[in-house]
Amino acid sequence: MTSSKLLPLSTEEHAAGNGLVSRRWLLRTGFPAAGAVGLSSGLVQAEELRVPDWSSSPGLDLTGYGQPSPFESEVVRPTLPLFPEGIGDGSGVSFTPLEKLAGTITPNGLFFERHHSGIPEIDPTAHQFAIHGLVERPLVFTVEALLRYPMVTKTCFIECAGNSLFNSFDEAQQRTAGEIHGLIGNAEWAGVSLAQLLDEAGVSPQGKWLVAEGADAAKMSRSIPIEKAMDGDAFIALYQNGERIRPEQGYPMRLVVPGWQGSMNVKWLRRIKVVSAPVYAKDETSKYTLLQKDGKSRQFTYEMGVKSVITSPSPGRELGAPGLYQISGLAWSGAGRITKVEVSADGGASWAEAMIPDQTSTRALTRFQLPWQWSGQSATLMSRATDEAGAVQPTREAWYEPYAANQLFHQNAIQVWAVSHDGGIRNVYV
Ligand SMILES: Nc1nc2c(c(=O)[nH]1)N[C@H]1C(S)=C(S)[C@@H](COP(=O)(O)O)O[C@H]1N2
Ligand SMILES: [Mo]
């Protein structure tokens, strides 16, 4: 076996400017033959294969709860307290390190956090959840009681409305993809349909809205139109990626409203009150409104817009020698499925369509990939997602157009990474 040289691909395989390779090339060539273009450059002569120490004696013992390899100890959530010490205790965020992960599921220990008043330590045997207000039969549920209902399972993302806030600064901030766009996580949630519980309580005809409230000291509260529950979409999650929901994510139960802004997914859910009109809670008036240039504010902006980000290459995942790379990233939309992701390597002058291995998931993170023959020259990488509603991810300039200065919620603009000739990558605005 010899390591092969990086053969340049014929230009007919190029789908767009600056080295973007047609996604059809990968399908045609397949990976076994990919050695021809240098993917096998890491192979060694058979006689060079060592017998390492760990192959010569028994390894470690069994463990009760597995942990990642110690060699992965840098794969953690970067944290950001939002207030100086002593003020606003427990209010802060930690980011999902998007650039260090592959696939689409966010491991539970790396799921981003946003707490307004810390993580309450809830004893599940003492926790109560009530449905009351405009109902025939007010009901109180324990965890045990909820576990006797049929379970629904749904893989979906939860994204903070303030995600990507670092791209609302005037100067492009030099942070990783996760530190900019990582206020999002994607999990397989299992729990109980909210429609079923509301049916049991018997919603009266005047009941048009729900107010969901958490059991934390912040008592996060949000008004939710009742249709989001009645159409079967909303549920009370008890499990996250197969295990009981983590304390950070709302143990022992949280509301999940797929595709809608993070704050509506009330954690440590304590009660849902059926009301006739929105209550304008502090958490939906002091925040989560968008001031426009015309002086009017947008309120109740529930749905998260169509968005994507290239996670590899990205800051912290710099390029080595020129040659073939796989551009890979995540796309999502609160409106449903991702139907298309386009990638540009020349700052938007030309675009090529990326491969989306799984186009069926809805309101969930979707992976895209595209081969790229990097010449070793500077390049400007961008990705642009389209969802099933036909919405296309806007440029930063287009996103800001209707809004007054300093608005940051629901920022879903195209992320631009500038690749320099030495392989370094910077966040830039174009
Ligand atoms: N009870 C309660 N629910 C809450 C919050 C909170 O502070 N308290 N934060 C909200 C916000 S702003 C977001 S973005 C999501 C974050 O969910 P996560 O911490 O599981 O990622 O939870 C929401 N639900
Ligand atoms: Mo949030």
Ligand nearest to the CA of 88: 1
pLDDT tens digits for range 277-298: 999 998 888 788 889 999 999 8
Q: Of all protein residues, whose CA lies closest to atom 20 belonging to ligand 1?
A: 249
Looking at the DSSP bridge assignments, the partners of residue 193 are 235
Looking at the DSSP bridge assignments, the partners of residue 290 are 298
Q: What are the tokens at 211?
A: 């107010």
* Distance in angstroms (rounded) separating the CA atoms of residues 305 and 301: 10
CB 160 within 8 A of CB 184: yes
CB 181 within 8 A of CB 309: yes
Q: Which atom of ligand 1 is nearest to the CA of 161?
A: 14
Q: Which atom of ligand 1 is nearest to the CA of 117?
A: 7
Looking at the DSSP bridge assignments, the partners of residue 256 are 235
pLDDT at 396 (0 to 100): 96
Looking at the DSSP bridge assignments, the partners of residue 374 are 323
Classified as helix, coil or strand, 99 is: helix
Q: What are the tokens at 180?
A: 């900019």
Kindly indicate the confidence band of residue 117, based on its pLDDT and cuts at 50, 70 and 90.
very high
**Lowest-confidence segment of 3-7, 240-244, 361-365 by average pLDDT:** 3-7
Q: Which domains does the chain have, with CATH numbers?
A: 128-291 (3.90.420.10), 307-428 (2.60.40.650)
pTM over 0.75: yes
Sign of CA dihedral 27, 32, 37, 42: positive
Kindly indicate the confidence band of residue 100, based on its pLDDT and cuts at 50, 70 and 90.
very high
Q: Which atom of ligand 1 is nearest to the CA of 93?
A: 19
pLDDT score of 239 more than 80: yes
Q: Which atom of ligand 1 is nearest to the CA of 115?
A: 7
Classified as helix, coil or strand, 291 is: strand
Ligand 1 mutation pick, 263, 284, 301, 365, max ligand atoms within 8 A of CB:
263
Classified as helix, coil or strand, 52 is: coil
Nearest Cα to 400, choosing from 287, 293, 285, 309? 293
Q: What is the mean pLDDT of the chain?
A: 92
Q: To which H or E segment does residue 159 belong?
A: strand 152-159
> Is the CB of 267 inside a 6 Å radius of any atom of ligand 1?
yes
> Is the CB of 214 inside a 6 Å radius of any atom of ligand 1?
yes
Quickly list H helices, 231-294.
Answer: 282-285
Question: What are the angstrom distances between the C-alpha of 185 and each of 33, 131, 199, 227, 241?
Answer: 35, 28, 30, 25, 11
Kindly indicate the confidence band of residue 412, based on its pLDDT and cuts at 50, 70 and 90.
very high
* Distance in angstroms (rounded) separating the CA atoms of residues 399 and 410: 9
> In the chain, what percentage of residues exceed pLDDT 90?
81
pLDDT tens digits for range 171-219: 999 999 999 999 999 999 999 999 999 999 999 999 999 999 999 999 9
Kindly indicate the confidence band of residue 33, based on its pLDDT and cuts at 50, 70 and 90.
very low
* Distance in angstroms (rounded) separating the CA atoms of residues 11 and 274: 62
* Distance in angstroms (rounded) separating the CA atoms of residues 91 and 115: 5
Where would I find the beta strands (DSSP E) of 142-266? Answer: 152-159, 184-193, 209-214, 221-225, 235-240, 243-244, 254-256
> Is the CB of 304 inside a 6 Å radius of any atom of ligand 1?
no
> Is the CB of 156 inside a 6 Å radius of any atom of ligand 1?
no
Q: Of all protein residues, whose CA lies closest to atom 1 belonging to ligand 1?
A: 214
pLDDT score of 28 more than 90: no
